A and B are shown apart, each in its own frame.
Chain A
């Protein structure tokens, strides 16, 4: 596909420190329009920090983040959100006292169409998205009473309601049981096929990443140690060594490899 050759996001030599801790070190990669990029790495590798740098929550000490040919490094998060980057959080952050519908409407009101959208339009978008993620019948319930699986869907709904061009998914599968994982994967496939949104997904559920991602970037102690198709990455000795530091992950990794 020709459009996949268009670079939508470029992370250039990004370095982020917390005191003496080097959370990200000289990380560079590109994301093409329409693709799903998997972002993997052992715990503490800097994956969520990278999301925080892209969305403007943290300002990197060095390097740049280029979104659609615009330098967005150091912009405040709300500005970046309005430009078309949405994210979900690893630890869900619903607006608990507001209803599921209101949560999703806020995404629509303040997302990419910020300032050019009426409340009715936002409501329509929100209802459509809630139908899409399978939360429509919960629309009028307060978000705090949802279970974890539903809260993860709500995170996704709120992000989708922003009508983003780039969606950052931070462990949307974590904490879900196998049947819920399968449902969520279907949903992610549907987002890709019906909405054509570019995605970066942080994921520990290896078979999911291997299945879904077009390409994978591997972080380890804040450095990018590999990048390529799932097959290339899985056979990369440095990646396997990195994961061997974490026996449980290594096991998952090998299992995923066998399935693939």
Chain B
């Protein structure tokens, strides 16, 4: 416990605390009615983008394993949340507390995601580089088509449910906020702990890491499990907000979004995926609003530019240009 307190008071945690305070204040303002629902929605989207980017970061950016299948865990979290909520919809209408059902669904989704990551990870984490990436695409297809056979809800893998509460949106902001705080703290501690050093060693040279004493097999699986659990939490809260689950929540495009955010922000850092998510979201919103036809073309060009001219991402640029800031930018 003292270890954790120590990590959470390091200078590199300041940015995280500032974010938590800002998003918290916005939530309170929203609840009090000073901020419009559409403005609050922007901050909720931002939290989700940062959350999913950080969830992938644990395995991709910290450990060096690029997973195209990360959306699988997001989808599983969302599926079981929607499944539970639709299964007990009658009880909810009769006054049962939807949050207990929501939490049950989330726990099932997170649990199964972590379990899947442990078992699949034991097999695919033996593969390196492109082979690992391709195997994770396979995983995504298997789970996606499996899910689409589900005929329980609306059919075709779709599930709808209804939760009516007087201040549903305001409450949901805080649901997102709690997921946001959990994700930030977990991802941060993983990064700066001894475990994080081991993961960094694996990313830089896995064989050297093993010979130095890092249990590379176990560490990779642990990282994959943590990454999966965090992604499942976001799938779950996303379903809750949408009142539904559709197979699109398993689409490869979401994995690509997560990867792009990590790349833009800078690999190997905690702050990178956060910066990447901000930039990605801003560009996404602007292009979608003003140049919807060109949105993905512009995003694509930016990705090519970053990879070509800024391979260490924005965080890497800050770290190399401003060495004094290094202790704040982990």
Contacts and interface: CB of A to CB of B under 8 A. Distances in A.
Interface in B215-237: 215-217
Contacts of B214: 78, 106, 110
Interface residues of A, number: 28
A210 B233 CA distance: 63
Nearest to A95: B204
Contacts of A77: 210-211
Nearest to A119: B194
A114 B200 contact: no
A57 B197 contact: no
A81 B208 contact: no
Contacts of B208: 89, 93, 95
Interface in A120-156: 140
A78 B213 contact: yes
Contacts of A114: 213
A114 B218 CA distance: 15
Contacts of B194: 109, 119
Nearest to B320: A142
Contact of A106 (B201, B207, B217, B323): B201
Contacts of A95: 200-201, 204-205, 208-209
Given A97-B268, A102-B197, A158 B204 contact: no
Contact of A111 (B198, B203, B212): B212
Interface in A49-91: 55, 57, 76-78, 81-82, 86-87, 89
A77 B209 CA distance: 9
Contacts of B207: 57, 93
Nearest to B269: A97
A35 interface: no
B213 A111 contact: yes
Interface string B7-28: 0000000000000000000000
A78 B209 CA distance: 8
A107 interface: yes
A162 interface: yes
Contact of B197 (A94, A96, A105, A158): A105
Most A CB within 10 A of own CB, among B200, B201, B205, B211: B211
Interface in B164-211: 194, 197-198, 200-201, 203-205, 207-211
A111 B20 CA distance: 37
A86 B212 CA distance: 7
B205 A82 contact: no
Contacts of A6: none
A182 interface: no
A162 B204 contact: no
Contact of B213 (A81, A93, A98, A102): A81
A175 B190 CA distance: 38
Contacts of A106: 197-198, 200-201, 209, 212, 214
Interface of A: 55, 57, 76-78, 81-82, 86-87, 89, 93-98, 102, 105-107, 109-111, 114, 119, 140, 158, 162
19 contacts: A55-B211, A77-B210, A78-B210, A78-B214, A87-B211, A94-B205, A96-B205, A97-B203, A98-B200, A102-B197, A106-B197, A106-B209, A106-B212, A109-B194, A110-B213, A110-B214, A111-B212, A111-B213, A140-B323
Interface of B: 194, 197-198, 200-201, 203-205, 207-217, 268, 323
